[in-house]
Amino acid sequence: MKLVVVSAGLSVPSSTRLLGDRLAARAAGRTSADVTVVELRDLAVEIAHNFTNGFPGRALGAAFDAVAAADGLIVVTPVFSASYSGLFKSFFDALSVHDEGALAGKPVLIAATGGTARHSLVLDHALRPLFAYLRAVVVPTGVYAASEDWGAEGLDGRIERAAGELAALMAGLSTVRKPAGESPAVVPFEAQLAALKP
């Protein structure tokens, strides 16, 4: 199984990358997935060139291939102007031009970092709609980490819950609730997706 982390952090060290690493460690621990990290900071020039010449460079092409081949994605962006970063959006714009269906049906865990908790709505007002548009399957729990969240109670619980949801989707299984006393049924995720199609 393959898990890819797409990190749009710009600084070194980066709290954005740190959040991605913590989420990946928890999800991979549940799935035994191999983890690949795509650092968008290192691809910024190739992303810009891709828009002007229409072709991905070698490193950007490898990143596109890794994302397309992944069984699950963790995407993490810093918050700029109450939304995802331009570099983050540019990568996924370029990916969708390169391979329109690259994210279709793919489990994606959305996460973001910022200086204040007031920007936590970026998960539901920017990231979730973006990945819904790209036809990804966004896990219910997104993770936002403000500066004050590091080392505080609550962040570990959100990471654990979100990683568990991603791991379940990556394994292609989802638990369906049953009445008390009955065992939960396990329904393949692909069968659930097929049932939703018209």
pLDDT of 178 strictly over 50:
no
pTM of the entire predicted model: 0.85
pLDDT at 122: 93
Q: What mean pLDDT comes out for the span 1-19?
A: 94
List, for residues 54-70, the tens digit of each pLDDT value: 899 999 999 999 999 99
The two three-digit tokens of residue 113, written as one number: 């970092």
CA distances from 30 to 54, 79, 116, 194 (A): 38, 29, 31, 25
DSSP 20-74: HHHHHHHHHHHH--EEEEEEGGGGHHHHHHHHHHS---HHHHHHHHHHHH-SEEE
